[in-house]
Structure 1
Amino acid sequence: MIKNIRIRVKHLIQKYDTRNPEKLAREMGIVILKRPFEKTMGFFKKALGKKFIVVNSNLTYSMQQVVIAHELAHALFHSSNSKIFLHEYTLFPRGRYEIEANRFAAELLIDENEIDKHIFKNMTVEQIALYFDVPKELVEYKTKK
């Protein structure tokens, strides 16, 4: 299990001065390709030493950012693995790699410092998800300790 995902994300945000997953990927030389798919949300692939994130162009912009953030974690933490990380139907399947990628996406896309701590603690998962325009499952990853 990858340790200190929160610290790793914080370091990336400071180094590249952005939380935008698409900008982060491009800054790190990861190619983003947007293609229409019927069921696939996106995937990460490493080929000939180059890293690629392919995201479904039929998704909303905010959902594309969630998928890119998730796949960015695979590119950073799991690129030595020969698997292709293909996501169909749901962004939240089980498994160690998926949990790590979801935690990474949650840390990257949900900045609790953006909301007063008292208000944040009193918000429901649904309210936080709506505020940050992310799926509620991502909020659940963020709020799990």
Structure 2
Amino acid sequence: MDLAWIDEYVDGIIDYCYSKDIFEIYNTLNINIKRIDKDDCLLQGNEALYIRNHFGLETVFIRDDLPYKYEKFILAHELGHALLHTEIAKAAYNSKIINKGKLENQADYFALKILDIKIDEDLYEGYTLEQLARGFYVTEESLYYV
């Protein structure tokens, strides 16, 4: 899957916001971050949820118990959805006609790029995906794009 086009989005956002800090980017783009209990029914067992129009505001609801570095990855992932998938409504996203896996892969790639996460294969030779994911505070699935 060719994801190089996402690099342009990442560069554009960093230029527009004059920052690589995920929290500053959210602030500049006026996207709210709302931390909620992991058992809140809104999350439906997920770590976060992006809603384009929550009482007129863009909002990411995120579990309040995530480690800081992992929270940054999840916020970057949700920002990827917010910027890359602007035409996809939540109802359509949950339908069978949308390739959800493709959208998730794009958001993962976006997150890795905006957080500038790179893994030197020589340095981490012999490590499992699980070990790398825990060490870099990312999901295992996202590591296919580093």
The TM-score with structure 2 as length reference comes to 0.71
Q: CA deviation at 1:121?
A: 4.5
Select 2:144's aligned residue among 133, 137, 140: 140
Pairs within 5 Å for 1:81-120? 81-83=88-90, 95-112=101-118, 120=120
Q: CA deviation at 1:49?
A: 4.3
Compared CA separation, residues 6 and 37, structure 1 to 2 (3 A) = same
Aligned residues: CA RMSD: 2.9
Q: Give the letter for the 1:140 counterpart.
A: Y
Q: Give the letter for the 1:36 counterpart.
A: D
What residue number does 1:19 align with? 20
1:50 maps onto 2:57 in alignment: yes
Compared CA separation, residues 2 and 128, structure 1 to 2 (3 A) = closer
What residue number does 1:64 align with? 71
Would you identify which runs of 4 or more consecutive aligned residues in structure 1 move more than 4 Å?
Answer: 125-132
Compared CA separation, residues 37 and 99, structure 1 to 2 (3 A) = same
Contact 1:110 1:132 (8 Å CA) reproduced? no
- How many residues end up aligned between the 2 structures? 129
Give the distance between the partners of 2:56 and 2:88, measured in 1 at CA. Answer: 13
The TM-score with structure 1 as length reference comes to 0.71
Residue segments in structure 1 that go unaligned for 5+ positions in a row: 87-93
What residue number does 1:5 align with? 6
Q: Percent of pairs identical after alignment?
A: 23
Contact 2:3 2:109 (8 Å CA) reproduced? no
